[in-house]
């Protein structure tokens, strides 16, 4: 972007950090569906991609906060240099402490443990984000939110909650269903189509495609010594290209900061040409969402069953076995992968097995009843009637 548009290096850094973030809103639903079908579970590919996405998002959001704080800061050069490491240390420290606190507050046997834990995470996130902005360490807040959620979820798993049956995750998933359309709607209103230069749009698309290809190649090279085969490496690299929620949340921040500074008359904050750079930043983030969000989701759904190895094991269900009770958007599919028949066969085998068990148990009960139950027959010869006549004399 520096050589294509003459963008300053600091703007190139903040744009690269933002576009590099992987969107869990795109990858996680596809990965959970594939893992439910047994694809890639033998090598832990879905878990690997989810872990990479979480670390990548935490680093990207923290880097964005640090760079933006330096760009729009009035402090001395020494404080700007120390600001980056200080934001990382404070964000991780607050997140770990809040996650440990959420393990003990509320008590695990509290009847309102689920809503209290939801409020703990939600309140801690608000304190971290708003507090970090108030003290001038914008990168510490998002990093604290991610680390607090990780530590608390790990602690609750140790206390008996299952990773797939986490009611707090279900609550935040419902929140995301409400706020996701609002987030993308607000992002879309910031784009003025009549002011876009077609030549700049094509340059942005070319820069994004070039960056995606280079990142895919580097991902394959980095995983060279791993246990993954070539197809699995390509699938992992493709799944890390999805852009959506992180870019939508951060793309308007520089432009908003410049507008606020111009309204307050702070000429030191906004330099000449920063508004054009902020608008180009916004356009690049939106184009990355439009290019990758639908295409990567479709590619993961189509190529997952073909590139990943499926684990086929005859399931041995316990007597009290039940299906996944937590409703989720991850179960929605528009692609027929040919696995529903396998699921129906497994369920049919299970039902036939249980019916045979019930029939055999009923036969055993019938035999026991025939052996141990006797019906008494009355005998006419042994039946006698005794009649006693009582006379009472009154003097």
Q: What is the pLDDT of residues 261-314, one digit of tens each?
A: 776 655 444 566 788 899 899 989 989 998 999 999 999 999 999 999 988 754
DSSP H or E run through 63: helix 45-71
Q: What pLDDT score does 387 carry?
A: 38
Q: What pLDDT score does 336 carry?
A: 46
DSSP 3-state assignment of 226? coil
Under a CB-based contact definition with an 8 Å cutoff, are residues 176 and 328 in contact?
no
DSSP 3-state assignment of 39? strand
Mind listing the pLDDT tens digit for each residue in 161-185? 987 788 998 999 899 889 888 888 8
Under a CB-based contact definition with an 8 Å cutoff, are residues 228 and 199 in contact?
no
Under a CB-based contact definition with an 8 Å cutoff, are residues 25 and 289 in contact?
no
Q: Which residue has the tokens 């396998």?
A: 342
- Among 172, 161, 162, 160, smallest CA distance to 115 is for 172
Under a CB-based contact definition with an 8 Å cutoff, are residues 72 and 256 in contact?
no
The dihedrals phi and psi of 267, each to the nearest 5 degrees, come to -75, -20
Distance CA(345)–CA(379), nearest Å, equals 59
Name the range with the highest mean pLDDT among 22-26, 73-77, 271-275, 378-382.
Answer: 22-26
């Amino acid at each position: 972007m520096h050589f294509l548009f003459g963008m300053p290096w600091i703007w190139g850094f903040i744009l690269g950090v933002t576009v590099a973030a992987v969107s869990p809103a795109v990858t996680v639903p596809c990965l959970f569906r594939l893992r439910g079908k047994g694809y890639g579970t033998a090598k832990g590919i879905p878990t690997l991609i989810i872990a990479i996405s979480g670390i990548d998002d935490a680093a990207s959001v923290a880097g964005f906060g640090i760079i933006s704080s330096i760009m729009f800061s009035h402090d001395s050069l020494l404080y700007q240099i120390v600001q980056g490491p200080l934001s990382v240390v404070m964000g991780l420290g607050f997140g770990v402490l809040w996650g440990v606190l959420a393990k003990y507050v509320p008590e695990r046997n509290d009847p309102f443990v689920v809503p209290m834990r939801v409020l703990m995470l939600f309140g801690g996130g608000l304190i971290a984000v708003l507090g970090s902005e108030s003290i001038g360490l914008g990168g510490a807040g998002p990093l604290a939110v991610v680390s607090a959620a990780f530590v608390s979820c790990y602690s609750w798993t140790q206390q008996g909650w299952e990773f797939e049956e986490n009611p707090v995750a279900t609550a935040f998933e419902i929140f995301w269903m409400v706020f996701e359309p609002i987030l993308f709607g607000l992002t879309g209103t910031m784009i003025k189509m009549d002011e876009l230069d077609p030549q700049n749009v094509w340059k942005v698309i070319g820069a994004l495609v070039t960056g995606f290809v280079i990142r895919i190649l580097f991902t394959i090279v980095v995983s060279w010594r791993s246990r993954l085969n070539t197809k699995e490496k390509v699938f992992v690299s493709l799944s890390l290209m999805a852009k959506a929620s992180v870019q939508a949340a951060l793309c308007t921040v520089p432009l908003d900061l410049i507008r606020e500074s111009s309204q307050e008359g702070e000429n030191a904050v906004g330099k000449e040409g920063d508004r054009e750079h902020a608008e180009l930043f916004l356009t690049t983030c939106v184009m990355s969402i439009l290019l990758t969000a639908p295409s990567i989701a479709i590619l993961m759904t189509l190529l997952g069953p073909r590139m990943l190895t499926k684990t086929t094991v005859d399931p041995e269900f316990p007597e009290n076995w039940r299906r996944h009770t937590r409703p989720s958007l991850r179960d929605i599919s528009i692609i027929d992968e040919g696995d529903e028949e396998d699921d129906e066969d497994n369920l049919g085998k299970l039902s036939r097995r249980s019916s045979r068990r019930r029939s055999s148990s009923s036969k055993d009960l019938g035999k026991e009843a025939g052996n141990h139950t006797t019906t008494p027959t009355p005998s006419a010869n042994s039946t006698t009637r005794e009649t006693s006549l009582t006379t009472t004399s009154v003097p």
